[in-house]
Amino acid sequence: MPAEDNFVFAVELGSSKVVATAGRKDPDGSIHVLGYAEKDATPFISKGKIFNVDKMTNTIQMMREDMEKKLDKTISQVYVCHGGMGIHSVQHIVERNYSEQNKITDDVISSIVSENASSVKDNKEIIQVVQQEYKVGTQSLLDVIGVESDNLQGKFLNLICAPEIRRRIHDCFAKANLPIAGIELSTLQVSKLMLSDMEKQSGCVFVDMGAATTTVAVFSQNLLRHLVVLPLGGMNITKDLESLNISTAEAEELKLRYGIPQEDEIAEGETLTLRDGRTIEMERYYELVIARVEEILCNVAHQIEMSGSSKDNLIGGIIVTGRAANLKNIDKAIKEYTKFEKVSYVKIVKQNVRSGGHFNRNGEYNVVLSMIESATENCCGGSKDKGSGDIFQGKTVETATADNSTEMPTEEKVPEIVEEEKPKKPNKVGGFFKKVSKVIGKIVNEDE
């Protein structure tokens, strides 16, 4: 098959935008980007959940038609990644006891797997099952076929969500007449390229800080052990800054410019100037930002505790990605509130990416690139009748190179949590950050 007739079409449904990429994996292992596009998702997605099926469907159709025109090829199917508030993991154990030694067979394992699949409540749906170890007597094993025992425990990590999350996704693509070849959680998909086997084996926390949600995934012994999507992200900080009577654009600009100031470096009476000439005290800016950052990171720390792990057995430390992780001094904040000394930052996927210019500079295409890397089915449906156009829609792009740096950026620019509260002025207790005495409440509302 000619190379031009073999490509993957991947779409990520993000909390702030929808991104799509057509590309293929070349023989040398690099990812060859053939075309890309992005659309604002705020008119139909909120915190990763689709709330307007018609608008989402129209967006899919437009992105597909535009890509087909520019590639001069039809698109027959798509790989989809998503997040969504309320998605979280639940551990479940299925046990078998026998009166005598019994050989464990495929049928025994199949019955355990089936029982686990029926364990979820009626108002929830299992979207993925991560098999943990089997316990035979006092031994924990990954493969127990052929082992004889009178007792067997199957441990499962079920990733669950409200049924409408996946149903709406399938409805939108079905209405757009675009079959789904594969569907995955965005954070788990991108972790395949951003985390090394050594990091997952020794134990690490992968924190994906997005615009409206923050996903916390804990890995140990090369298995996912805990996952939750927190309904908090960079947009919350921006909205808090809007209370200064400024626009969203200016609030975002202030957030990226000043990040999280160090409290001991704020001079008494120091001010910052707004676009309209007004001035506000830097102390006021700091209070708004740190209150929300504190809420996000305290919830991240609580989720690590809920996973049953700690910094002592998560040798790989905390690995952060996502655009909201670009906040200046976010590394210091993470260390302060999680008590982890090892914090690293991954901005873009490690694989070499071939494109026509500036591309994925801020990591916005990490997820779709990871889908192209792991996809197994061709999404090309054949040639179109009409000629092609500029596949990059007039955008300037450049070849992306792998960035394996583990240092936090110096510039740029989070359960248990039931609802978002208006940030409150934290108490001063000294140190780099203002401490809090609030108790973290329950995160994932079971009805969300």
Least confident of 4-8, 365-369, 392-396, 424-428: 392-396
What are 167-187's pLDDT values in tens digits? 999 999 999 999 999 999 999
Looking at residue 388, what is its pLDDT?
38
Res. 71: pLDDT tops 70: yes
Res. 296: pLDDT tops 70: yes
What are 343-360's pLDDT values in tens digits? 999 888 777 888 766 777
Res. 404: pLDDT tops 90: no
> Is there a single domain that holds both residue 75 and residue 169?
yes
> Is there a single domain that holds both residue 181 and residue 38?
yes
Mean pLDDT of the chain: 85
> Is there a single domain that holds both residue 143 and residue 8?
no
Using the 3D structure, point to which of 161, 179, 210 is the last residue of a domain.
161
Structural domain count, the chain: 2
What are 99-154's pLDDT values in tens digits? 999 899 999 999 999 999 998 877 899 999 999 999 998 889 999 999 999 999 99
Res. 443: pLDDT tops 80: no
CA nearest neighbour of 86 among 59, 125, 122, 131: 125
pTM: 0.83
pLDDT above 90 covers what percent of the chain?
Answer: 70
- CA–CA separation, 442 vs 429, rounded Å? 26
Looking at residue 264, what is its pLDDT?
83
> Is there a single domain that holds both residue 66 and residue 119?
no
Q: Is position 62 within any domain?
A: yes
CATH number of the domain at 103, please: 3.30.1490.110
What's the token pair of residue 360?
Answer: 């994925």
Angle at 82 between CA 92 and CA 125, to 5 degrees: 35
Using the 3D structure, point to which of 161, 177, 206 is the last residue of a domain.
161
Looking at residue 385, what is its pLDDT?
66
Let me know: does 273 contact 285? Beta carbons within 8 Å: no
> Is there a single domain that holds both residue 76 and residue 181?
yes
> Is there a single domain that holds both residue 170 and residue 47?
yes
Least confident of 42-51, 71-80, 116-125, 329-338: 116-125
- The domain in which residue 111 lies consists of 88-161
* 79 three-state secondary structure: strand
> Is there a single domain that holds both residue 23 and residue 131?
no
48: left (phi over 0), alpha (psi -120 to 50) or beta: left
Least confident of 54-58, 128-132, 251-255, 384-388: 384-388
Res. 406: pLDDT tops 70: no
> Is there a single domain that holds both residue 176 and residue 74?
yes
Looking at residue 349, what is its pLDDT?
77
Average pLDDT over residues 54-82: 95
Of the two residues 251 and 391, the one the predictor is more confident about is: 251
> Is there a single domain that holds both residue 78 and residue 118?
no
> Is there a single domain that holds both residue 153 and residue 35?
no
Give the confidence band of 422 by pLDDT, cuts at 50, 70, 90.
very low
pLDDT above 70 covers what percent of the chain?
Answer: 84
Q: Is position 229 within any domain?
A: no
Looking at residue 57, what is its pLDDT?
97
Res. 405: pLDDT tops 80: no
Please name the amino acid found at residue 218: V
- CA–CA separation, 214 vs 321, rounded Å? 10
Using the 3D structure, point to which of 363, 381, 400 is the last residue of a domain.
400
CATH number of the domain at 390, please: 3.30.420.40
Looking at residue 133, what is its pLDDT?
92
Looking at residue 2, what is its pLDDT?
61
**Cβ neighbours of 404 (radius 10 Å):** 10
Q: Is position 355 within any domain?
A: yes
Looking at residue 446, what is its pLDDT?
41
Looking at residue 354, what is its pLDDT?
81
- CA–CA separation, 419 vs 153, rounded Å? 36
- CA–CA separation, 309 vs 203, rounded Å? 9
Looking at residue 374, what is its pLDDT?
92
> Is there a single domain that holds both residue 370 and residue 387?
yes
- CA–CA separation, 301 vs 309, rounded Å? 11
> Is there a single domain that holds both residue 169 and residue 32?
yes
- CA–CA separation, 169 vs 44, rounded Å? 12
Give the confidence band of 67 by pLDDT, cuts at 50, 70, 90.
very high
Average pLDDT over residues 266-277: 91
- CA–CA separation, 440 vs 109, rounded Å? 39
Q: How far is CA 375 from CA 1, 9, 196, in A?
A: 17, 9, 19
Q: Is position 55 within any domain?
A: yes
**Bridge partners of 94?**
154
Let me know: does 371 contact 24? Beta carbons within 8 Å: no
